Amino acid sequence: MLLGECLGFVGGALVTCSFVPQLIRVFKLRSAHEISLLFNIILLLGLITLLAYGISLRLPPVILCNAMGIVLVTGLLYAKLKYG
Task: Render pLDDT for 41-56 as a digit per residue (tens, 0 to 9).
Answer: 999 999 999 999 999 9
For the chain, first and last CA: distance in Å?
Answer: 43
User: How many domains does one find in the chain?
Assistant: 1
* The length of the chain, given as a count of residues: 84
Q: Within a domain: residue 12? A: no
Average of per-residue pLDDT values in the chain: 92
**Which residues, other chains included, contact 31 with Cβ-Cβ below 8 Å and sequence gap of 6+?**
83
Q: What is the pLDDT of residues 16-45, one digit of tens each?
A: 999 899 999 999 999 988 889 999 999 999
Question: Which pTM was predicted?
Answer: 0.87
3-class DSSP state of 18: coil
Q: Does 1 fall in a domain? A: no
**DSSP alpha helix (H) spans, 1-84:** 3-17, 19-29, 37-57, 60-83
In this predicted structure, what is the pLDDT of residue 45? Answer: 96
Is residue 27 situated within a structural domain? no
Domain that holds residue 58: 36-84
